[in-house]
Chains A and B, each alone.
Chain A
């Protein structure tokens, strides 16, 4: 009897994909489910998947447990300032590294790579001391200033810019365009997918950041959502998982919305880098 591999291959590949998908999606569904359960339901075994009566009240409980409006405002200000400043720094830096010849270029670029490889956990103490020295700890600046330059973004965008033919830039120079105009009208539109990807990665990592604000803040007035949600746990001694998960859902929704808008650009970025 001959074994017909092709009849097995398609279902097998489907099964594997389904498993991988489940692994990724499971914690997510768990979070949503828990956020709608009662405290009792979270403790039952076997665990409940579908809450008997969805407890929407969990959300208001979570949001009323602290100054969540302030937290949300802080998260928004910090994340968007970081992205805006990063983009403003990244574009000219990547352009210079990709298309100019200047003294010290190699050394400067190796600094960028170095910055890209050193994790924040190594630098937070000196950065904290420096910012404390400047008296900035009671503001949002410690969460913004250290991230003005995105080394990974500069690196990725430089690679992208390097693929843009020199003749296009030279044509623009012959068309009497200033360097600013070349960047703004030619380089940026041509690298939109890369920029969107970098901005999204940056958004996710800063929106979700917990470690850095934990070190850099000492009052509710300057704390972001992630810390507010973590503090839900401590309010009553025992872990109110349903409340914490409700907070987490609130934290994640903006990421989903941004991803929906950016996903087309991101897929494009990966397709481009695959072809070129």
Chain B
């Protein structure tokens, strides 16, 4: 078990600064998910914890201890790579055993550990096979077993599921969550898939261009995104964002907060528009509604509208977000919030009246 802390960490490759003055504390025993777009520095962060690419400056602490000078093999961390990085010339057993051998674990103990771990991950019958004779999912399990058998205090995983097919991915996701519950160790999991992040994380660390945008529980990130980036990265479809027309302020709402109707609504925000696309997903339907200046994605549980239909789109005051010119979210407690809310309400009335006059 271990906590991880980054203190003023900067990482650069060939003078390109990838991460600058980063501070982050990853709690002991939590399932922390690093998420962000491609190239934002997630892998870089993970590799610094493992000690594979030591940071340019600042320090990384594991359990409060600066590990800068400790080599990867002695940090008590295990890592699962995206391409599994299995030793291809070794059998499944030798793959799992390799770390134990290097740590001078006695032979009987090794045998016992390898057998119990292969039971856990479902590789029991395959110990003497070569990895090349196994499926993608089974190789993934070798990588997991190899990491687990060392009983690391920190588990690092870099997009471990991205090479699996959709069904297996969902299954492994559940298995990993259960594994975390059982082991109780610190998991740091990298993904660029926000669905994976939302479903697995105790804490999400959302990154963009080497900077942490928000660090919070999934529901907090979803309900109170720190800024425009967080609002648009988390959630499918992403939050609808439009200009308010005052002080360069933007307003936004989640697709499922939008209400559609053929009649004018009583909601705080509303706008007339036309349905341009309809995407039926089974239990829900996603409409794209085009108003005069903007298109909005709306998620409905009912499938009542057709393409080209004229509708009114409305959103309750409680479901509206405002973002300042600095792209940070304006809190409800903030003095400006109510005035922006009022402005949006006023604009809605004008738009609806104009819509009725035209129609």
Residues of A within 8 A of B (CB): 165, 167-168, 170-178, 181, 185-186, 189-190
Contact = CB atoms under 8 A, between A and B. Distances in A.
Given A170-B52, A170-B72, A175 B99 contact: yes
12 contacts: A167-B83, A170-B50, A170-B81, A171-B85, A174-B50, A174-B79, A175-B146, A176-B103, A181-B102, A185-B87, A189-B90, A190-B88
Contacts of B50: 170, 174
Contacts of B82: 167
B148 to A, nearest CB: 13
B99 A176 contact: yes
Given A170-B72, A190-B88, A176 B102 contact: yes
B73 A174 contact: yes
B85 A176 contact: no
A177 B98 contact: yes
A173 B146 CA distance: 13
Given A172-B98, A174-B50, A174-B52, 16 more contacts: A167-B82, A167-B85, A168-B87, A168-B88, A170-B50, A170-B81, A171-B79, A171-B81, A173-B73, A175-B73, A175-B150, A176-B74, A185-B98, A186-B87, A189-B89, A190-B89
B53 to A, nearest CB: 10
A163 to B, nearest CB: 12
Interface in B117-149: 146
Contacts of A185: 87, 90, 98
Interface of B: 50, 52, 71-74, 77-79, 81-83, 85-90, 98-99, 102-103, 146, 150
Contacts of B150: 175
B98 A174 contact: no
A168 B194 CA distance: 28
Nearest to B158: A167
Main secondary structure of the interface of A (DSSP, over half): helix
Nearest to A171: B85
A165 B103 CA distance: 24
A190 B52 CA distance: 22
Contacts of B90: 185, 189
Nearest to A173: B72
A181 B87 CA distance: 13
A5 to B, nearest CB: 41
Nearest to B150: A175
B73 A177 contact: yes
Contact of B83 (A165, A172, A181, A190): A165
A181 to B, nearest CB: 7
Closest 3 CB pairs of A and B: A176-B73, A175-B99, A167-B85
B52 A173 contact: yes
Question: Of B71, B82, B102, which is in contact with the most chain A CB atoms at under 10 Å from its CB?
Answer: B102
A206 to B, nearest CB: 29
Contacts of B86: 168, 171
Nearest to B79: A174
Given A177-B98, A177-B102, A181-B102, A171 B87 contact: yes
B85 A168 contact: yes
A172 B79 CA distance: 10
A167 B84 CA distance: 8
Contact of B85 (A170, A177, A190): A170
Contacts of A177: 73, 98, 102
A185 B99 CA distance: 12
A173 B86 CA distance: 13
Nearest to B100: A175
A186 B89 CA distance: 7
A168 B90 CA distance: 12
A167 B72 CA distance: 13
Contacts of A181: 102
A250 to B, nearest CB: 38
B83 A174 contact: no
A272 to B, nearest CB: 12
Contacts of A190: 88-89
A183 to B, nearest CB: 13
B85 A165 contact: yes
A171 B82 CA distance: 12
B87 A172 contact: yes
Contacts of B52: 170, 173-174
Contacts of B83: 165, 167
Contacts of B85: 165, 167-168, 170-171
B97 to A, nearest CB: 10
Contacts of B81: 167, 170-171
Question: Of A167, A177, A189, which is in contact with the most chain B CB atoms at under 10 Å from its CB?
Answer: A167
A186 to B, nearest CB: 6
Contacts of A178: 102
Given A165-B85, A167-B81, A173 B98 contact: no
